[in-house]
Amino acid sequence: MGKKVALITGGGRGIGLGICEKLAVDGFNLVLSGRSDASKVADAVAKLEGMGAEVLYCSGDVSSAEDRAAMLVEIKERFGRLDLLVNNAGVAPKGRVDILEATEGDYEWLMKINLQGPYFLTQACANWMIKQKQADESFEGCIINIGSISATVVSTNRGDYCISKAGVGMMNLLFAARLGESSIPVYEIRPGIIKTDMTSGVTQKYDNLIDNTDLLVEKRWGVPEDIAKLAAAMARGDMPYASGQVVYVDGGLTMKRL
């Protein structure tokens, strides 16, 4: 049957790259997408190829309908199949701004990338997976959404981001419910404080909170590998009979404690 093929948006760095590395070890061929030029991710692609994966990099913006369509055409031409979608690409707000002062322009920019783009990419990939399942009953598709604890943890200086991640949570449930009849599981992972370039600007803040408060049960930064291990287990089918479930990988940050 050949190797399974996974599409990981934002797969060239951070959490996305960590997931790609675990999937490469598990025998997947990989499609990475991102807004960067291919030269910017050449080292990451070479590393993944060295791990045994055939890798396709699609340069494009997930918020663009044209770029999403072009990406799927490239995947069909190169691999002819898609077994796994990981909606990982996302952006932080352009600035941390009080919700009483936030602008519509910045809100629309973030929501198109963090929610609208993934929603319609999932729609397109789900329809392709359904066709593959109809053609071959043994086909095993899967969709994984990388959300955030910000879906439920309030930050009044980045309301747009919180709302986008809350939307991803409902998107996860919607597609899990819709794709159940096709036996295509859909999961969500909600990371907490993860050390990536997205959090580099608040390193000192979270270093202090981790070291000097009871914010976390596990008193350390999360790393991309923490997310990647769970995503790989989901992709392997190690979470059967659990479609729609949300798993927090946050060091206990959201755990209720007295």
Q: Is position 159 within any domain?
A: yes
**Percent of the chain whose pLDDT exceeds 70:** 100
Digit-coded pLDDT (tens) for 203-255: 999 999 999 999 999 999 999 999 999 999 999 999 999 999 999 999 999 99
Specify the higher pLDDT residue, 18 or 198: 18
Q: Is position 257 within any domain?
A: no
Q: Distance between CA atoms of 138 and 130, rounded to whole angstroms?
A: 12
Q: Is position 88 within any domain?
A: yes
- Sign of the Cα pseudo-torsion (236, 239, 244, 250, in order): negative
Query: Which secondary structure element, helix H or strand E, spans residue 166, and what is its range?
Result: helix 159-179
Number of domains the chain is built from: 1
Digit-coded pLDDT (tens) for 27-37: 999 999 999 99
Digit-coded pLDDT (tens) for 68-80: 999 999 999 999 9
Which letter, b or e, does each residue of 141-172 get, where b requires 16 or more Cβ atoms within 10 Å of its Cβ?
Answer: bbbbbbbbbbbeeeeeebbbbbbbbbbbbebb
**Overall average pLDDT of the 164-190 stretch:** 98
Could you say which DSSP state residue 238 is in? -
Q: Which domain holds residue 185?
A: 5-249
Digit-coded pLDDT (tens) for 54-113: 999 999 999 999 999 999 999 999 999 999 999 999 999 999 999 999 999 999 999 999
Q: Distance between CA atoms of 170 and 159, rounded to whole angstroms?
A: 17
Q: Is position 30 within any domain?
A: yes
Provide the CATH number for the domain around residue 228.
3.40.50.720
Q: Is the per-residue pLDDT at 154 higher than 80?
A: yes
Q: Is position 42 within any domain?
A: yes
Q: Distance between CA atoms of 6 and 141, rounded to whole angstroms?
A: 10
Q: Is position 45 within any domain?
A: yes
Mean of all residue pLDDT scores within the chain? 97
Amino acid at 169: G
Burial class of residue 244 in the structure, from the number of CB atoms within 10 Å of its CB (0-12 exposed, 13-18 middle, 19+ buried)? middle
Nearest Cα neighbor of 185 from 228, 117, 247 is: 247
Q: Is position 87 within any domain?
A: yes
Our measurement of the distance from residue 85's CA atom to the centroid of its chain's CA atoms, rounded to an integer in Å, reads: 9
pLDDT given for residue 1 in this prediction: 67
Nearest Cα neighbor of 124 from 65, 56, 181, 183 is: 65
Q: Is position 258 within any domain?
A: no
pLDDT given for residue 159 in this prediction: 98
What is the secondary structure of 170-230 as a DSSP string? HHHHHHHHHHGGGT--EEEEEE-SB-SGGGGGGHHHHHHHHHHSSS-SS-S-B-HHHHHHH
Q: Strand, helix or coil at 87?
A: strand
